Structure 1
Amino acid sequence: MRDTDASWRTRAIGLLDADANRSADTHLHAFPLPAEWGIDLYLKDESVHPTGSLKHRLARSLILYGLVGGMIDADTTLVEASSGSTAVSEAYFARMLGLRFITVVPRSTSREKLDLIEFHGGVCHFVDEPLQVYAEAERIAAESRGHYLDQFGYAERATDWRGNNNIAESIFRQLALERHPIPTWIVVGAGTGGTSATIGRYVRYQCHETQVAVVDPEGSAFYPSWHSGDASHVTGASSRIEGIGRPRVEASFLPQVIDEMIAVPDAASLAAMHLLHERTLHLAGGSTGTNLWGAFELISRMRAAGQAGSVVTLICDSGTRYMRTYYDDDWIRENGLDLAPHRARMVRFLDGGTWE
């Protein structure tokens, strides 16, 4: 490698490290539950990253992986297949390093996310069918002599699951002074599968008794695959809950390191998202609602077993990205979603009732 290439790479890694030093640790909020339950629910707020989502961590890891692996240099075009948030974060880092960035996205991606990708200097390339994103990203990378970041293939290996200030290490550090510092459950969604793989391996490496649950929305391949044991399961459908759920089982999803999966109806995800805002004023996206619904189900099991402890889940991104969709009553109605029964179920539960 030329000295100029090595110098550029050193500067690039320094810029990424400086960004992480400013922003890697995010807030851990307590969700109000009845005190007599003896159960604490926490939400790790990944929406406060500079690019507004959990995917900020992943994008940094993927680009570092490409840098140290010799796949990215000063002239490389970065290419991704994304439902939006990962591409927002990758565009941010690409501009930081002076690199061109192109992302392949489904045409259904929210306008707010597309605007953010373009704000950070990224170029959006659209496809009509969700399964087209992979081949199209590979084609563009090959034709541009670029590097396909491939979040779905590399997420679980690009992130250091042993620590290095990953999200799991951060959660346990922030819980250290709480009354239940080792959570009974950590609840996450599966988009790439990288977050559940990182957390699942970390808790085993640290010999914690924490269990990891993955929540999955309608139309996603992960839950039916986990339930049947068929890793080749394909739905071909696009999830309405952006950021989680996939039409096929991704390579970074490691079912052997998780303990439970919960299927969540889309209307329940959105009802939980709205309830979170009502009860805490946190404005979050649909995947956060999916997480919260799963957390409530697991808390109900703990209550039924007379078990005290803590549960942790994530605020994945800000609800400002979904004002024209998930927070728009007309959009909800046009998509045939009735949130009322799911909201009523959560309210009864939080008021001291059972999880029906």
Structure 2
Amino acid sequence: MPESSRLVGKEVSGCCSQAWLHEAIGIIEADFNRSADTHLIRIDLPKTPGITLYLKDESSHPTGSLKHRLARSLFLYALCNGKVGPSTTIVEASSGSTAVSEAYFARLLKLRFVAVMPKSTSREKIAAIEFYGGECHLVDNPASVYDEAQRLADETGGFYIDQFTYAERATDWRGNNNIAESIFSQMAQEPDPIPTWIVSGAGTGGTSATLGRYVRYKRHATRLCVADPEGSVFHRHYVDRSIKRIERCTSVIEGIGRPRVEPSFVPEVIDRMVVVPDAASLAAQRVISRIIGKSCGGSTGTNIWACLQLMSEMIRSGQKGSVVTLLCDHGDRYRSTTLNDAWLSEKGIDISQPTKLLEDFIANGTPLPTS
């Protein structure tokens, strides 16, 4: 038998040994095994009888955000495709949360990790990446993160893990305890177990793609709504597919909203998009934090505003049911930005009017104005 034939099965794409690959996947799977599923929080609003709001609390992951799921999937996808070995430098373009989670998994595998991020990224996220041993490479222009990440990967002989391209394909949308399967499993004993709406934001587009595909695969009546910051391109593309890029995303909400339509964004599985002004997102961030007694990030506020818009429509039409959305990450990452009154004032953002509308909805069941 030729020497090359005897080596088949012992090496993986020339990148690493089969033994290292098996160990690496085992480490990630063991981490998953140690992590319980995230909580589903029921929020009873007395003035909206027959309509119940639920929050899927993704901040309880080990790295504190929804992106923990994505980072795990991206690492497994890269490993199983032979892209990563024991000396590979992992490089990512991120607005922060995905990089925090990827730094965690890179440390588990003893790999160098570099995050390319806008300089506007909150210092709390930067500190979290560094806590897990990651390196932060900050750029002035948020639109340049993609090219800079690829340049660094090429320069170091590393691998650009590229959440924006691979998010929708790295996650098994049919099940395997993805976020959609988890939601429906946890809703099974609730009064309205099949949600009328599930609401998600879009950063890479991977979460909305997973939710939309799973709902169709399981033939549920649930509809998927994506809440998108006013300054983002996604809602523009949803209306007009020829719009694929804007000069920049003007939103201050980190983690969602983009200046270009990312490859993982799948508009065909989305039933509705709600456009949310930043002031409304930040008002909702604070209001929902007070209601549940736990601080939330700005993207959670974006989701909540969209939920209450949908619930307002349900009230007007006399419809009953459940609405589920995501608590994306903890507010501790935004103490210096969106939860800081001085920062809001500096940005010229006034949240007083949307706060009043939200409080009136909660206290009196008064529907939000139609958008």
Give the structure-1-normalised TM-score: 0.98
What's the % identity of the aligned pairs?
59
Matched with 1:23 is 35
How far 1:33 sits from its partner (Å)? 1.1
- Verify: 1:233 aligned to 2:242, yes or no: no
| Contiguous gaps of at least 5 residues in structure 1 | none
How far 1:248 sits from its partner (Å)? 0.7
2:189 to 145, 153, 177: 177
1:61 to 54, 73, 91: 73
Distance 2:247 2:284 in 1: 25
- Quick check: 1:163–1:202 contact (8 Å CA) kept in 2? yes
Give the 3-state SS of the residue equivalent to 1:240 in structure 2. Answer: coil
Q: Deviations over 1:314-353 (max 9, x none)?
A: 1000000001111111111111111110011111122221
- Quick check: 1:284–1:315 contact (8 Å CA) kept in 2? yes
Compute the RMSD of aligned alpha carbons: 1.2
- Quick check: 1:16–1:60 contact (8 Å CA) kept in 2? yes
Matched with 1:269 is 281
Matched with 2:335 is 323
Matched with 2:368 is 355
Distance 1:23 1:60 in 2: 12
How far 1:149 sits from its partner (Å)? 0.6
Distance 1:17 1:231 in 2: 40
- Quick check: 2:174–2:214 contact (8 Å CA) kept in 1? yes
- Quick check: 1:220–1:235 contact (8 Å CA) kept in 2? no
* TM-aligned CA distance change 1:301 to 1:36, over 3 Å: closer
Matched with 2:165 is 153
How far 1:239 sits from its partner (Å)? 2.9
Q: How does 1:1-356 map to 2 (within 5 A)?
A: 1-2=10-11, 5-23=17-35, 25-34=37-46, 37-350=49-362, 351-356=364-369
* TM-aligned CA distance change 1:235 to 1:263, over 3 Å: farther
Question: Which letter does structure 1 place at the counterpart of 2:11?
Answer: R
How far 1:19 sits from its partner (Å)? 1.3
How far 1:278 sits from its partner (Å)? 1.8
How far 1:234 sits from its partner (Å)? 2.3
Report how many aligned residue pairs link the two structures. 356
Distance 1:250 1:348 in 2: 37
Question: Which letter does structure 1 place at the counterpart of 2:367?
Answer: T
Distance 2:48 2:111 in 1: 54
How far 1:31 sits from its partner (Å)? 1.6
How far 1:230 sits from its partner (Å)? 2.1
Which 4+ residue blocks in structure 1 deviate beyond 4 angstroms? Answer: none
Query: Which shows bigger deviation, 232-241 or 286-295?
Result: 232-241
Q: Deviations over 1:137-185 (max 9, x none)?
A: 0011111111111000000000000000000000000000000000000
Give the 3-state SS of the residue equivalent to 2:308 in structure 1. Answer: helix
- Quick check: 1:349–1:355 contact (8 Å CA) kept in 2? yes
Distance 1:165 1:280 in 2: 25
Give the structure-2-normalised TM-score: 0.94
